[in-house]
A and B are shown apart, each in its own frame.
Chain A
Amino acid sequence: MALTTATHPDRPSAAGIQPSRSMRARMQDALPKLVLAPSFAITLIFVYGFILWTIYLSFTNSKAFPKYVLTDARAYQRLWRWTFESDPPSSWYTSITNMGIFGVLYIAICLGLGLLIAILLDQKIRGEGLLRPIYLYPMALSFIVTGVAWKWFLDPGLGLEQTLHQWGWTSFHFDWIKNKDFVIYTVVIAGVWQASGFVMAMFLAGLRGIDSEIVKASQIDGASTFQLYRRIIIPLLRPVFLSALIVLAHMAIKSYDLVVALTSGGPGGSAWLPSNFMYEYTFKRNEMAVGSASAVIMLATISAIIVPYLYSELREKAR
């Protein structure tokens, strides 16, 4: 990782004080490293070692059990071939297409809705303390609970559709959760419901951090409220957009539970995301090498987003 190159003068730290070189002092010198060592070793082995292990497995022909004879990149070749197998769609094609649909909609709607509610809440609202927790509580629930609740709510025979029928809107039809072409959108709905309040909280914190002098100055210049937000405030929130984007992208790629609980994978696996693909192929279909290869692809995708972000964050901190 490129972080090694980020050299900089250390902040003055307590380690800078020279103790007398007694036995006890020397032990004191080594102690901090000894305390940190187990955690670091655990991370190296169980994160980085395991990642290498998974990469290794993806180049074998492991089926139900891991095999450690390197063969070739057959697992990747199969994934590559499946990538273009759209009719009938291969499981992998479905998974990555769903990832695209889910990722884009989930992130865009969470950002849009989060920003909107945050701006509305920032208008000196009476009862803000009452409203804010309502938007945020879904974040405390597990994806499984969210999935169970929405599965019920979206069920055509029991939930929303039936309720509207009872209220007299008999032509209302909403069976996305059972429709293989639309089931992924129900995952978007439940996902947005869960995470948008959190994005709202991030934006609200950002709005509260804006210097009121800037706002006053632009008002003296005669900017309307709309202009004020469009030209001044929203551009100032760019760092929040970035943080929220990273968090959401990361959550989207890792989403697994929600698909399982809400749709049980959807009709014929039509709601799968790559995380579901990986789990199914590894543990249920005895295609361990293919499962590992898909995990490696997921990791590479997340890394492409996270590494530059972390790098810039850590560097900025050093300045």
Chain B
Amino acid sequence: MSAALAASRRTPGSSIVPRIVIYGLLIFFALIYLIPFFVMLVTSLKTMPEIQQGNMLALPKAPTIDPWIRAWGEACVGLTCEGIHGYFWNSIKMVVPAVAISTILGALNGYVLTKWRFKGHKLVFGLMLFACFIPFQAVLLPMATVLGEFGQIGKALTNATGFAFGFGNPTVNLVFVHVVYGLGFTTLFFRNYYEAFPTELVKAAMVDGASFFQIFRRVLLPNSLPIIVVTVIYQFTNIWNDFLFASAYAGSGDVMPMTVALNNVVNTSTGVVEYNVNMAAAMIAAMPTLLVYVLAGRYFVRGLMAGAVKG
């Protein structure tokens, strides 16, 4: 029973006015939280004349998906006007491998750090955990230098073999960066989850002669679905939404991820500013993470909490 339940029971007669106030406030706040999104959505469905004359809160008189189509296929990012679809795919190509690799590594790390402890495991975990919190500005420049070196290696490899093996490819670079700086979080998630996993089961499997990887695959992984979902959602949201790394390491040309491209669409000053197209582009950029939130909100919140309450 919650505190409030007990509290409201105390004065059953006089509770009608407070109830109205409570509901009123909650609905008021809900409206405030919804308004920016609502405005973004209705603006993306209006024509330009309607935007210039009309009220931003008004529903579109004749809803049109034309701005969405234009955002996808024609919007100008800097000087090229081919829409944002290419950048959307850039983000997908970056997110999928980065999430997969960091999640797998995090699971293995969490497994070792809880079930195969060694002297100093706390220090190792502490150092990896602190890495979650550093401002990325503190590593931005050295990483830029190293990625520049990767580019040189890529050129040399291309000259020698005709193939760069991913060296110097901006998408590969971003995958690498996101794996490196996501490891702390994924390790944290799995470590805390496996901490509560009964060690007796692991021991029993060892007695039966199961190997390190067999135990991981047969004992832990089948029981890890919730934390895998949490980790994947958390990483997906973070990497999809990243702007700092994206703008530093893939900030121009046709290699930009979605967030950078969106920022460029909105700030492109050539021609008339098409607000409806801008809003449609923003909606498209927000769609994947919003979809995840709507479909798996419970896990989304759990990830945030796990990322917030450390240790």
A interface with B by C-beta (< 8 Å): 1, 3-4, 6, 10-15, 17, 28, 31-33, 35-36, 38-40, 42-44, 46-51, 53-54, 57, 66, 113, 117, 119-125, 131, 133-146, 148-153, 158-160, 162-163, 166-167, 193, 197-198, 201-202, 205, 207-208, 210, 212, 215-216, 219, 225, 228, 233, 243-244, 246-247, 250, 253-254, 256-257, 260-261, 264, 275, 278-279, 282-283, 288, 291-292, 294-296, 298-299, 302, 306-307, 309-310, 313-314, 316-318
Instruction: Report how far A292 CA is from B300 CA in the complex, Å.
Output: 35
Q: Which of B62-70, B77-85, B115-123 contacts A (4 or more CB under 8 A)?
A: B115-123
Contacts A144-B243, A215-B6 supplied; 8 other A-B pairs, CB < 8 Å: A3-B126, A28-B211, A50-B142, A51-B139, A197-B33, A212-B5, A295-B141, A313-B311
Q: Say yes or no: B30 contacts A134, CB within 8 Å.
A: yes
Q: Which of A134, A141, A299, A316 contacts B286 (CB 8 A)?
A: A141
Instruction: Point out which of A134, A210, A278, A298 has the most chain B C-beta atoms below 10 A from its C-beta.
Output: A134
Q: Say yes or no: B183 contacts A33, CB within 8 Å.
A: no
Instruction: Point out which of A28, A144, A313 has the most chain B C-beta atoms below 10 A from its C-beta.
Output: A144
Q: Say yes or no: B126 contacts A314, CB within 8 Å.
A: yes
Closest CB in chain B relative to A18 CB, distance in Å:
11
**Chain B, interface residues (CB within 8 Å), range:** 35 or more
Closest CB in chain B relative to A264 CB, distance in Å:
6
Closest CB in chain B relative to A294 CB, distance in Å:
8
Chain A residues whose CB sits within 8 angstroms of the CB of B310 once the complex forms: 243, 309-310, 313
Q: Say yes or no: A299 contacts B241, CB within 8 Å.
A: no
**Total A-B pairs, Cβ < 8 A:** 333
Q: Say yes or no: B113 contacts A283, CB within 8 Å.
A: no
Chain B residues whose CB sits within 8 angstroms of the CB of A167 once the complex forms: 55
CB of B165 within 8 Å of the partner chain:
no
Q: Closest residue to B309 on the A side, CB-wise?
A: A243
Q: Which of B122, B127, B134, B279 contacts A299 (CB 8 A)?
A: B134
Q: Which of B21-29, B92-100, B155-163, B167-175 contacts A (4 or more CB under 8 A)?
A: B21-29
Q: Closest residue to A44 on the B side, CB-wise?
A: B127
Closest CB in chain A relative to B278 CB, distance in Å:
7
Q: List 27 A-B contacts (CB under 8 A).
A: A10-B121, A11-B199, A31-B212, A36-B113, A39-B128, A42-B183, A47-B139, A53-B142, A54-B141, A122-B4, A124-B8, A131-B30, A142-B240, A144-B259, A153-B35, A159-B56, A193-B32, A225-B11, A228-B3, A253-B135, A260-B243, A260-B263, A261-B266, A275-B137, A307-B130, A310-B133, A313-B311
A134-B30, A310-B311 known; A291 vs B135 contact (CB < 8 Å): no
Closest CB in chain B relative to A116 CB, distance in Å:
8
Chain B residues whose CB sits within 8 angstroms of the CB of A32 once the complex forms: 112, 116, 118, 212
Chain A residues whose CB sits within 8 angstroms of the CB of B105 once the complex forms: 38-39
Q: Say yes or no: B279 contacts A152, CB within 8 Å.
A: yes
B interface with A by C-beta (< 8 Å): 1-8, 10-11, 19, 22-23, 25-27, 29-30, 32-37, 39-40, 43, 51, 55-57, 105, 108-109, 111-118, 121-131, 133-143, 145, 180-181, 183-184, 187, 199, 202-203, 206-207, 211-212, 215, 237, 240-244, 247-248, 259, 262-263, 266-267, 275, 278-279, 282, 285-286, 289-290, 292-294, 297, 300-301, 304-305, 307-311
